[in-house]
Structure 1
C-alpha cells in the first residue's frame, strides 16, 4: 500500500489561516466555606460592622455547601454574617468581584445560607438593625411562662449568689420550659441555626414532642433606663423517658453556652441545676447522649465533689486504697481491676442519679484522690488503669468474658452481616488495634497516659475548688 500523496507547496500562494484552539489551564478549585465566611454574634446594632464584634471561630461550615464543602463560581467572595443575641435573627452581607462557571457551576449562596438560618435570616440590613429595638423583650416574654429553678450547691443549701461564676454580681437563672408549648417551641426554632453551627453532630429536636424540655440559662441585668433585660447565655435540651414501672430517665441531648459566655462557669452551672432536678424529682438516672471529651471533663468535675461527700462509697474507696498500699501490683501477673461493689453502684444511682458508666469514670478519680501520698503509689495506680484500658479495648485475657464479632453468611451485604456475642474466658477477642504487637503496646500506653493525665487534671481542679 502506497503512502498518501502530500500536496506540493506553492511559495507564492496565500498562507492559510490557522485556527487556534486554546485549553484553559485554570480550573475552578472552589473555596472552602470557612475561608470566605465570618459569623459574628452581636448584642447591639452598634456592634454590626464593628471590629470589636465577637467572631465565632473556628466553625465547620462544609456540611452546608456542596458535597466537598466548597463554594464554586466566585472570585473575591466574602460573606459576613451577623447573628443577633437579642432576637436571633441573622443578616448576611455578600460581596464578590465576579462570577463564572468554571466547570462546577455557581453555588447558590442564598439556598445554602437558608439551609443554616431558614426563616431567621433577614435580607434587608435596615430591617435587621431594627430588630435590636423591636425584639428587645423577646427572651423575657418567652420565659415568662416557664419555671424558675433554684440552684442548690453540693452542700444542700440553696445558692443564689453564683459566687463560682465570673459574673458574680449578675442575676443568673435557669428556666425550665416544656418544648411542646408554643413559647418554648418558638425559642428553640430561633436557636436552631446556632445548634447546627455550634453543637457537633446535632440535628433539631421535635418541637411538638412534650417529652422534650428546655433548660434556659439567662442573665438579668438592668439597662440604662433601669428596665430589667434578659440575656440568653445558653441552654440544654433534655428528653424525659419513661422508666418502668412509674419513674422516668433524663437524657441530656444538646447543651450550648453561647461562645461569648463560654469558659466562665455557666456550663457547670447548668449541669448542677440538672443534677438538682434529677435528685429532687427522684428520676431513675441522668444520662448524656454521646458526650464530647470537653463536656465529659466538665461533667466529671461536677460529679466528683458530690461523690466525695457521699458516705456509702467511702468504705469501698478505702478498701481499694488499702489493697493498693499492700504491695507492688505492677509486679504481679494478674492485676485486679478494683471495681466498686454492685451495691455501691446502685446506691450512687439511686441517691445521686449518676449512672453506672459515668460513676466508673469518676471511680478512678476517687481512688487517685484517696492515695496519699499519691506519688508513692503511682506505679501501681497506672498498672490498674492500664489493666482496665486493655480489658476495654482488646478484651479480657482471663476471668471474665469480653466481646467479639462473628461474621455470618448473608444475602444482603457481606460486610454488614455479623452477630455480637460474649467471648468465653480465654477466647481471643476480634476487636483489634494493630497486628504488630509492639505498635499495639505503644497505642495502649498512649491511651493509658492520656487517661492518667485527664485524671490528674480533674483531681487538680477538684482540689482547688
Structure 2
C-alpha cells in the first residue's frame, strides 16, 4: 500500500492546470514574444482538456498559442521540462498536441522564425467588410486610441479562414462555446479592430467580434439573434463590448424588415451589458421620461421601444425598472415601497406559474408525491428567495445607473 501511495504521489507531480499551461498572445512586434506582460490565459479549458481542466503526463507544461494581432496567423507549440513516459513505463501522457489541433485550423506554424515572417506580413492586413462605426478610447499611456467596427460576411475574400482562427478564442473564454457554420448566409459578422500606427504605417489589430443569425419571422420580417460575442482579454474593461452592442443594435434598427433583436442563451454578463445599452438608448424616448416612469410600465413604452429601437416587451420592462429606479427616491418610504412591489410583481411570475402547475398536479399525483412538491414551494421559502432575487436585481440596476451617469 505504501508503494502505491508513493507511486501516486510521484505521478501527481505530472498533473498541470491547463488554464495556467495554455499561454495566449496577440503579437504586434517581435519583442512581444519574450514579454510575459503580453501573455494571457484561458478562463476555461474544459472543452479541450476535460471537466477537471487538468493535463496529465508533464512537468512545466506550456501550450504556446500565439497570434499575429491583425490576421491572427497562428504559432502553436507544446513545451515541457519532463514527460511521465521518460520516468515510468506503461504510463501514458495526454496527447496535448492532438487535443489542441482539434480546435485550431490547419495552417499554423510551429517554427518561431516562420511566425516572425508572418508578423512582417501582418502589416498588409486590412479589416474585412464594411466600416460602419468608429470611436476613440482614452488610454493613460498611449493617449487617444482609435477603434473601428466592420460588418463582414462569407463573401469577403479570406474571411472564412480568418474567422476559423478567430473563433478558436471562444473555447477558452465562453463556457458553453461551440463553432458555427460560417458558410450559412444568414450569419452577420461584426468585427472590432484597433487602428494604430507603426513606423508611419496604419495597422489594424483584432479586438473582438459578434455573430448574429437572422431568423425568418412570418410573413416578411427577420429576427436577428446574437449568438456569440467576445472582446479579447487584452481589451476587456475598456468599454468595447458596449460600443459593439450599441452599434450593432442601431444597425438593425435601421432595417425596416427587422422585428426585434434577441440573444441566444445569454450569459449574466451579456444581460447586464444589454441592460446598460438598452437603457442608454431608451432614456431619450418620450414614453420613458421621468414623469411617465412613475406611473408604471405602459403600452406606450412597449410600442415605442419596439417601433423605434426593435426592443421586445421583456427587455423594455427591464429598461423601465432601471430608469424608474434612477428617478425614485429610495429614502422615501412610499416611493421605495411602490418600486419594490412593482419589481417583485414581475419577479413573482415564475412562482405563480409553479403554483398553477401544482394545482394541476393535485389531480394526478399520489399523496406522498404531492407532499414532496408542496415542500418545494413553501411560502416562507418563496418570500425569502423573492427578496434575495430582488436585492440582486436592484444591485445590478444601481451599477447600470452609475455607468449611465459616468457616460452623461
**TM-score, with normalisation over the residues of structure 2?**
0.83
Residues 67 and 295 from structure 1, CA distance in 2 versus in 1: closer, same or farther, beyond 3 angstroms? closer
The reply on whether 1:136 has 2:123 as its aligned counterpart is: yes
Give 2:345's aligned residue: 387
Of 305, 310, 318, the residue aligned with 1:353 is 310
Question: How far does residue 22 in structure 1 lie from its aligned partner after superposition?
Answer: 6.0
Residues 49 and 170 from structure 1, CA distance in 2 versus in 1: closer, same or farther, beyond 3 angstroms? closer
Q: Which runs of 5+ in 1 are unaligned?
A: 1-20, 151-159, 323-337, 410-427
Question: How far does residue 361 in structure 1 lie from its aligned partner after superposition?
Answer: 1.3
State how 1:320-339 maps to structure 2 within 5 Å. Answer: 321-322=294-295, 338-339=296-297
Would you say the 8 A contact 1:184–1:214 is kept in 2? no
Aligned residues: 388
Question: How far does residue 208 in structure 1 lie from its aligned partner after superposition?
Answer: 1.0
Give 2:30's aligned residue: 45
1: CA distance, partners of 2:39 / 2:7: 37
Question: How far does residue 394 in structure 1 lie from its aligned partner after superposition?
Answer: 5.1
Give 2:61's aligned residue: 77
Query: SS of the residue aligned with 1:242?
Result: strand
Between 1:29-38 and 1:46-55, the stretch displaced more is: 29-38
Query: SS of the residue aligned with 1:87?
Result: coil
Give 2:131's aligned residue: 148
Would you say the 8 A contact 2:137–2:145 is kept in 1? no
Question: How far does residue 242 in structure 1 lie from its aligned partner after superposition?
Answer: 2.0
Query: SS of the residue aligned with 1:136?
Result: helix
Give 2:301's aligned residue: 344
More helix per residue: 1 or 2?
A: 2
2: CA distance, partners of 1:447 / 1:433: 20
Of 141, 166, 183, the residue aligned with 1:191 is 166
Give 1:115's aligned residue: 102
Would you say the 8 A contact 1:180–1:209 is kept in 2? no
Q: Deviations 1:131-175 (Å, cap 9, x if unpaired)?
A: 11123323x0x52xx22214xxxxxxxxx5x35665873332211
The reply on whether 1:268 has 2:242 as its aligned counterpart is: yes
Residues 241 and 436 from structure 1, CA distance in 2 versus in 1: closer, same or farther, beyond 3 angstroms? closer
Query: SS of the residue aligned with 1:126?
Result: helix
Give 1:449's aligned residue: 391
2: CA distance, partners of 1:218 / 1:36: 28
Between 1:235-244 and 1:30-39, the stretch displaced more is: 30-39
Give 2:204's aligned residue: 230
Question: How far does residue 364 in structure 1 lie from its aligned partner after superposition?
Answer: 0.8
After TM superposition, the runs of 4+ consecutive aligned structure 1 residues lying more than 6 A away are: 401-409, 430-433
2: CA distance, partners of 1:403 / 1:438: 17
Q: Deviations 1:168-201 (Å, cap 9, x if unpaired)?
A: 7333221111135443312211202112222331
The reply on whether 1:287 has 2:262 as its aligned counterpart is: yes
Would you say the 8 A contact 2:293–2:320 is kept in 1? no
Would you say the 8 A contact 1:251–1:286 is kept in 2? yes
Question: How far does residue 313 in structure 1 lie from its aligned partner after superposition?
Answer: 4.1
Question: How far does residue 237 in structure 1 lie from its aligned partner after superposition?
Answer: 0.8
Query: SS of the residue aligned with 1:116?
Result: coil
Query: SS of the residue aligned with 1:382?
Result: helix
Give 1:154's aligned residue: none
Question: How far does residue 460 in structure 1 lie from its aligned partner after superposition?
Answer: 2.1
1: CA distance, partners of 2:138 / 2:351: 38
**TM-score, with normalisation over the residues of structure 1?**
0.74
Aligned Cα root-mean-square deviation (Å):
3.2
Give 1:153's aligned residue: none
The reply on whether 1:54 has 2:39 as its aligned counterpart is: yes
Would you say the 8 A contact 2:154–2:185 is kept in 1? yes
